[in-house]
Amino acid sequence: MGELRALIFDVDGTLADTERDGHRVAFNRAFARSGLHWDWSVELYGELLAIAGGKERIRFYIKEYQPDFEPPTDLDKFIADLHAIKTRYYQQIVAEGAIPLRLGVKRLLKEAREQGMRLAIATTAALPNVTALLEHTLGSDSPSWFEVIAAGDIVPAKKPAPDIYHYVLETMGLEARDCLVFEDSNHGFWASSQAGLKTVVTVNPYTQNQDFSGALLVLTDLGEPDQPFTVLAGDAGDWKYLDMSLVHHLHSVHSD
**Which residues are tagged catalytic?**
10, 12
SS3 of residue 22 by DSSP: helix
Q: Is 113 left (phi over 0), alpha (psi -120 to 50) or beta?
A: alpha
Closest to 147 in 3D by CA, of 175, 172, 113, 125: 172
Neighbours of 50 (CB within 10 A): 11
Pairwise CA distance, residues 67 & 177, whole Å: 46
Pairwise CA distance, residues 109 & 7, whole Å: 9
- Look at the alpha carbons of 98, 99, 105, 109 in this order and tell me if their dihedral is positive or negative: negative
Helix (H) or strand (E) holding 121: strand 118-122
Closest to 183 in 3D by CA, of 202, 163, 159: 202
User: Is residue 135 exposed (0-12), middle (13-18) or buried (19+ Cβ within 10 Å)?
Assistant: middle
Neighbours of 159 (CB within 10 A): 25
